[in-house]
Every structure is written in structure tokens, then in C-alpha cells.
Amino acid sequence: MTFRTHLRRLSLLPLLLAAVTAQATPAPTTTIGLGTWNLEFLGAPGNVRHDVPPRDDGDLQQIGAYVHELGVAVLAVQEVNDAATLQKVAAGAGPSWRGLLGTTGNWTDGKTAQAIGFLYDGAVVDLLGAEELLELPREKDGVPIFHRAPVTAWFRVKATGFDFRMVTVHLKAGQKPPDEQKRRLEAGELHDWLRRLRQSASEDQDYVVLGDFNSSYGSDPEQVLEAGDVVRYVDQPTPTPTIQHFAEPIDQIAPGPGFAELRRDSYRVHLPPEGADKLAWRKTYSDHYPVTVTVDAAVDADPAAQFYRGAPEQTLPASLRPPSPRAPAAPLAPATATVPRDGPREWPPQVGAAIQVRIMDGTHYIGRLHEPLPEGPNGWLVIEAEGSLRAVPWHQIAWINLQ
């Protein structure tokens, strides 16, 4: 070997090392999977799933392994009895997986629950915040609704900074007219909450609602939720069942119009292997099938956008709730005001402006602002409504809309 040849080979060494390093370093995550799965009384005591034996810890490990195989970064879950059982499933998915569970959905027997929440891979996404939407009413027109209050959480993809909000629901089950009425009312209240997110100038528009809707395409929940372009269901070219008991899909994914990164053509129902015994599969897993979509998470188009936070009692997990009251975030306000007959409207509203106010307990007032909006969290909102002045503590205000 000549000296010149040796020098030439040495000069190529950095290029060779760079190529080897590039092959050894995994590419950053630019796409992620999101999904939803009703886990059918996961962890419930006794044999509430009457026709299959209770699950054991081995089953929980298998469920976790299957969650990992789905290839999702976040999975909305329904019908979970308790956080400890959900953590066992998370452990089965891998050491970086975590569980997050709401507190509603309890049965009157004091030991059974159908809570909803999320499983997420902490190696892929950071949990930025989570809440149980307790600001939504539990009764409407004398009808009890939201036995399982929706749970929302917002995440950021570690590799790219792309962030987004998920809202998981488990709407009223059943096919009788009262059940349909409850679903319609639940969809209406959720629609109003989402509409305010949609109209808020600072709010991140990458949001998606997903879960067990207990209804298929074309039913009242879809028609109510899609009104005003608040969300739009992801359609299937050929509708595939998402539960063993019905031919129609009842588990849905509905992104907001601003969530363009969610690939609407990626919807997939993960059916059991062909020929698998239904009861055997259900014994370990569920009578529902997981549903997933893919999100292009390479670039965050709105990095300055924020995520609305409700009152402190909504914070999840419940162990993180502050021991004493703190000021909630500013109420959701319209992004732009429409123009009424008497001229343009501006935010914040001025004294005399026509406004609609919603209190945390679900009470609504429509009237005119009597005093300027308070500057601090300990102030009061004063409104002239129904022929009298009403003063409401600012921290009890859920939202204000201009009329």
C-alpha cells in the first residue's frame, strides 16, 4: 500500500463513520398512531361479563402487549374499573407506558365502575395536562346525562414538538328512545364545549373526539356533533363492526376541522385473527375492537397555540388537584365576534354589552354586563338578567359568549 493510498483511505474514514452513525441512530418520530378501545369492564370485581370468566393478571399483560402492537402513542380507553388495573395493562405495554383515568362512571354497588381515560407511551409523547370535563352538566331538561364525564388530555410529541388535544367519551348505551335522547343531549353539550374551543383565538385547533359513541354513522350524535363544522367523523369506505354484538361500528373518531394532520384515510378496525374463537378472544381482551388512525406529526403549524384549562377540580389525575382553590383559566371567548344589527362587537365586552354566561354548575344567564370584567381571579362578574342584578364569583364562570 502506498502512502498516498493510505492517506486517501484515512480521508474517507469520517464519511464512513457518519454513514454508520446515521444507520445506527433511529429516525425521529414523524408519524404517530392514536386510537380508542372499550375494554369491557376491565378490572371489575366478580363476573359482570356473565358469559366469560374473569380476567387474571396474565390477561392484563396480554392486553398491554396488544396495545403495544397497535403502534399507537395514545389510546383512549373506556370501561375501566380502577387505576391500578389500568396500570397493569400499561406495564404490559412497556416500561414507558402510563395510564390516566377519570373519576366518574361509578355504579351504585360501590365497587364497580366504568371509568374512561387514556393509555400513552411516555417515550413518544409528553402529557401536558388532563382534565375531567366536570363543567358539563350532569342533567339536562330533567334527564340525567354524562354518567361518565368526558376526559380530555393534551400531549406533545417528544421528537417534533407537535401537540394536540384528545377528548374521550363513552356516550349512553342502549337502543331505546330514552337512551337515544340521552346520547342526543350529551352530544349537544359536548358540541357546545367544542364549539367554544373552535372559536377561541388562542386555542390549539388540533383536537379530536374519540371513544365509544354507542351509535353509528347518520345517527343523532353525529348530526349534532358535526353541526357548524365543529368535528367531522372519520368515515370508513366499508363500515366494519367495532363490537361483536352489532354489525355497525359504534366506536368513532371525530377530529376538528383544524386537525389536518390526522389522516382521514388511515382509519382501521383491528379485528381478531381470522378464525379466532370469539369468546376466547373476548375472555382476554374485550367485546370491542380497537380503532386507530395515523397522524403526521413532523411539524407543529401552531406552536404558540394554547390549551384551555377548566376549574381546578377537573384536574387529572385527581391526586394532582390542589388542596385549596386556585384561579381557573380565563373563560373561553369567541375568536372573532360576528356583527349584530347594531354594529360590531369586541372582546372583552364593555359595560352594556349583551352576553351569555354559563356557571360551573350548568346555570345559564343571558343579559347585559353591568360592571367591567374583573381584572383578577378574586373578582365578581355582575350581569343584569331577568330583571335584576346578579353577581357571580369569577372563579365560578365556565365561559362567556357575546350575544
Write the pLDDT tens digit of every residue in 146-194.
999 999 999 999 999 999 999 999 999 998 999 999 999 999 999 999 9
Beta-carbon count within 10 A of 80 CB: 26
Per the prediction, the chain carries an average pLDDT of 85
Q: Is 31-296 CATH 3.60.10.10?
A: yes
Residue 323 pLDDT exceeds 60? no
Measured CA to CA, the distance from residue 342 to residue 361 in angstroms comes to: 32
**pLDDT score recorded for residue 10:** 42
**pLDDT score recorded for residue 340:** 37
Measured CA to CA, the distance from residue 253 to residue 234 in angstroms comes to: 6
Residue 322 pLDDT exceeds 70? no
DSSP H helices in 295-401 = none
In the chain, domain spans:
31-296, 327-402
Measured CA to CA, the distance from residue 8 to residue 79 in angstroms comes to: 66
Residue 25 pLDDT exceeds 80? no
What sign for the dihedral angle of Cα 401, 190, 70, 95?
Answer: positive
Q: pLDDT over 70 for what percent of the chain?
A: 81
Residue 376 pLDDT exceeds 70? no
Q: How confident is the model at residue 110 (pLDDT cuts 50, 70, 90)?
A: confident
Residue 339 pLDDT exceeds 90? no
Span 229-243, pLDDT tens digits: 999 999 988 889 999
3-state secondary structure of 351: coil
Q: Is 327-402 CATH 3.50.50.60?
A: no
- Contact status, residue 231 vs residue 195, Cβ threshold 8 Å: no
Query: pTM for the full model?
Result: 0.76
Span 44-68, pLDDT tens digits: 988 788 888 899 999 999 999 999 9
| pLDDT (average), residues 317-344 | 49
Q: How confident is the model at residue 349 (pLDDT cuts 50, 70, 90)?
A: confident
Q: How confident is the model at residue 378 (pLDDT cuts 50, 70, 90)?
A: low
Nearest to 261 by CA among 298, 234, 230, 228: 298
- Contact status, residue 347 vs residue 399, Cβ threshold 8 Å: no
Span 262-283, pLDDT tens digits: 999 999 999 999 889 989 999 9
Measured CA to CA, the distance from residue 332 to residue 155 in angstroms comes to: 20
More confident residue, 17 or 51: 51
**pLDDT score recorded for residue 79:** 97
Q: Parallel, antiparallel, or unpaired for β 163-170 and 207-212?
A: parallel
